[in-house]
Amino acid sequence: MQNRRLGKSHLEVSALGFGCMGLSFGYGPPVDRQAGIALIRSAVERGVTFFDTAEAYGPFTNEELVGEALAPFRDRVVIATKFGLTFEPNGQRGLDSRPAHIKEAANASLTRLNIDAIDLFYQHRVDPNVPIEDVAGAVKDLVQEGKVRHFGLSEASAQTIRRAHAVQPVTAVQSEYSLWWRNPEAELLPALEELGIGFVPFSPLGKGFLTGKIDEKTTFDSSDFRNIVPRFTPENRKANLAFVGWLTGFAEQKKATPAQVALAWLLAQKPWIVPIPGTTKQPRLEENIGAARIELTSGDLREIDRAAARITVHGARYPEQLERMTGR
């Protein structure tokens, strides 16, 4: 697999990363620990060098899994994790990006991941109660101490990114982006290009919908986050199948799968974009990695854009309370 550089930084990673969240959290029960370790190591063997986790995934258990899986390959991989959430015994989550909490979170993540330095440390969500300059300053201290190598932000606005970048250079921004959610194209991507910051799209396959394996009859485990996502109500799934149907037909012409075309489309947008699809299954891992070999011509990209523009996506991408935590 080819490598890409995240913006103007010196952080070089595989063109496709691996989003590890679903191994522990969000999409049903956690996978068997040894199966999760085997899958992550299989990704390394296939050329993936960029792995995304967070203290929130579990919470905490995903970092431990990723740390154990990647220990034999530490000098070959880039590990990204995130800070800034709190976790109550009742399952409630809050925000806390006070500098003291950031430093506590970094030390705890280093221990769980069993590493000496965090390669890329993202603020998970912008905390409206803490100036972003204070957040960037805390991460700058951690960089100077050698505990963190690069600073990132997740689901932040262009204005917030600019303010943070002025204090401590931001290497990468992570936000949702796919053929199913293109809002970053309006303000975020132009700002990142101007500032020389890399972009890491999560949910690049629309939380699985763009694979073509989900329809209105699909049922999700009771612990699956998609049960509360408006876009995944049965009626919205049925309405949204129109685009997946078109994508499937287009993919067949390219001798590819819908997921591969969706990932190849993202890779074709900018050379500093690195999607992080996640999976719990070996065949899906290999399918996703295969997307890096697909060449989309300028004509293909125009055709995809025309088709996407004609189709309305039904349903919000987040429940209202979660959407309010983005774009700050």
Is 57 in the active site?
yes
> Taking the CB of residue 190, how many other CB atoms lie within 10 A of it?
12
Q: What is the DSSP string of 150-214?
A: -EEEES--HHHHHHHHHHS-EEEEEEE-BTTB-GGGTTHHHHHHHHT-EEEEESTTTTTGGGT--
Strand, helix or coil for residue 273: strand
Catalytic residue among 27, 57, 122, 177: 57
Rounded to 5°, the CA angle 235-265-314 comes to 15
Cα distance between residue 61 and residue 32, in whole Å:
12
Cα distance between residue 102 and residue 96, in whole Å:
8
Helical pair 99-113 and 61-70, crossing angle rounded to 10 deg: 50
What token pair was written down for 9? 């930084």
CB 50 within 8 A of CB 277: no
Q: Which residues contact 71 (CB under 8 A, 6 or more apart)?
A: 114
- Give backbone dihedrals phi and psi of 60, rounded to 5 degrees, phi first: 80, -30
Cα distance between residue 34 and residue 226, in whole Å:
25
What token pair was written down for 193? 């290009």
Tell me which residues are annotated as active site.
57
